[in-house]
């Protein structure tokens, strides 16, 4: 049955009321659904955050455990190749005596080149070295000297080497590596200022790689002797030759020490007497360092064992 509206105004029909009610219900349902979705998203995000927090600690513990296992294996490997200390002490004493004797020759040489900057024997030796200009020899000499030209890389190598010794419980040796290299750099600068000998010039020899500063003694040679020479000495003093890395610890440092001198002459950076002075004074510093090392080792300084239950992150708190 149809309803008829009067002229005074329109009354809503039952169909219009139904549409309005449906619209309100749909709108309310939509708002409710959106609200529920938002609550679910917030709850999910909280769950993810809590899960990340709970997984963070086990992950850190796992990393520490893995690193500690590697360190402990290295410690056992080093301990297994150690020489008895009474035998090591005798070796160190012999090396120290040889190194200290070099000081007399260095003093005489420094005095002589101070008053005679250019020596005919130096010129002759350099020219003899530079007769062969094959690419292999040239690039080999450049490669040997490269580390000494890059102070940042060399410093990082010294620090990493000291860290490796520290982690395998050779703490005194680690400090010795850093200390000796630092003393070598400072004394080299001081001696160069005192002797004040100019570097080789193109008037006498070919300059393949120019370097600034004074010439006597060779900084490359001194730094190589005090770093690589110390590694060689420690390898000879501390370890037997039962493992392959014992030989690497001797061969690699020996090659650097032996080749750095000829490389400085070949490249025209130093006179032969500069190189000889670097070997002599570097050997002197090495001898003194080994003597101090023997005394500290005999008194048990920095030789106590580390707690094996500590992690790598705890080692630096000692």
Cross-strand bridge partners of residue 239: 82
Cα distance between the two ends of the chain: 99
245 within a domain of the structure (yes/no): yes
Helix (H, G, I), strand (E, B) or coil at 239: strand
6 within a domain of the structure (yes/no): no
Host H or E run for residue 291: helix 272-298
pTM for this model (two decimals)? 0.66
Q: One digit per residue, pLDDT tens: the chain, 318 residues?
A: 434 444 444 444 555 555 555 555 555 555 566 556 666 666 666 766 666 655 555 655 665 565 565 555 555 555 555 555 445 566 667 766 776 777 788 888 989 898 888 899 999 999 999 988 888 999 999 999 998 888 999 999 999 999 998 988 888 999 999 999 999 999 999 999 999 999 998 888 888 888 888 889 999 999 999 999 999 988 888 777 777 777 888 899 999 999 999 999 999 999 999 999 999 999 889 988 988 888 888 787 776 554 334 433 343 343
- Identify the pLDDT of residue 315: 36
232 within a domain of the structure (yes/no): yes
Nearest CA among 241, 223, 252, 235 for reference residue 290? 235
- Identify the pLDDT of residue 244: 78
45 within a domain of the structure (yes/no): no
Q: Which domain holds residue 125?
A: 84-304
- Identify the pLDDT of residue 101: 77
Nearest CA among 143, 151, 121 for reference residue 267? 143
15 within a domain of the structure (yes/no): no
In whole angstroms, give the CA distance from residue 152 to residue 174. Answer: 19
* Coarse DSSP helix, strand, coil percentages of the chain, rounded to the nearest 5 percent: 75, 0, 25
Contact partners, residue 263, CB within 8 Å, separation at least 6: 140, 141, 142, 144, 145, 220
Q: What is the domain count for the chain?
A: 1
- Identify the pLDDT of residue 5: 41
* Tokens describing residue 314: 């705890």
Helix (H, G, I), strand (E, B) or coil at 134: coil
223 within a domain of the structure (yes/no): yes
In whole angstroms, give the CA distance from residue 255 to residue 150. Answer: 19
- Identify the pLDDT of residue 279: 93
Query: At 133, phi and psi to the nearest 5?
Result: -115, 35
Contact partners, residue 99, CB within 8 Å, separation at least 6: 283, 284, 286, 287, 288, 290
Q: What is the DSSP letter of 19?
A: H
Nearest CA among 253, 67, 267 for reference residue 158? 253
158 within a domain of the structure (yes/no): yes
1 within a domain of the structure (yes/no): no
């Amino acid at each position: 049955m149809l309803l008829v509206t009067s002229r005074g105004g329109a009354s809503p029909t039952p169909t219009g009321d139904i549409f309005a009610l449906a619209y309100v219900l749909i709108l309310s349902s939509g708002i409710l659904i959106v609200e529920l979705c938002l609550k679910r998203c917030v709850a999910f995000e909280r769950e993810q955050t809590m899960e990340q927090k709970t997984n963070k600690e086990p992950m850190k513990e796992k990393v520490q455990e893995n690193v500690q296992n590697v360190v402990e294996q290295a410690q056992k490997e080093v301990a297994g190749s150690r020489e008895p200390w009474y035998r090591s002490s005798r070796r160190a004493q012999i090396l120290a005596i040889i190194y200290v004797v070099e000081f007399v020759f260095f003093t005489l040489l420094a005095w002589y080149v101070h008053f005679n900057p250019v020596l005919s024997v130096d010129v002759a030796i350099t020219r003899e070295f530079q007769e062969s200009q094959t690419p292999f020899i040239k690039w080999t000499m450049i490669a040997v000297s490269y580390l000494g030209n890059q102070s940042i890389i060399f410093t990082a190598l010294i620090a990493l080497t000291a860290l490796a010794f520290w982690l395998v419980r050779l703490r005194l040796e680690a400090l010795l590596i850093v200390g000796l290299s630092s003393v070598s750099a400072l004394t080299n600068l001081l001696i160069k200022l005192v002797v004040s000998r100019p570097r080789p010039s193109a008037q006498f020899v070919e300059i393949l790689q120019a370097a600034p500063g004074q010439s006597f003694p060779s900084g490359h040679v001194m730094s190589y002797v005090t770093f690589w020479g110390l590694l060689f000495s420690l390898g000879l003093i501390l370890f037997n030759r039962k493992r392959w890395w014992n030989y690497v610890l001797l061969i690699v440092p020996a090659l650097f020490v032996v080749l750095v001198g000829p490389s400085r002459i070949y490249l025209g950076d130093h006179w032969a007497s500069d190189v000889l002075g670097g070997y002599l004074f570097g050997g002197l510093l090495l001898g003194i360092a080994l003597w101090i090392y023997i005394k500290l080792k005999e008194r048990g300084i920095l030789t106590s064992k580390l707690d094996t239950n500590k992690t790598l992150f705890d080692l630096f708190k000692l």
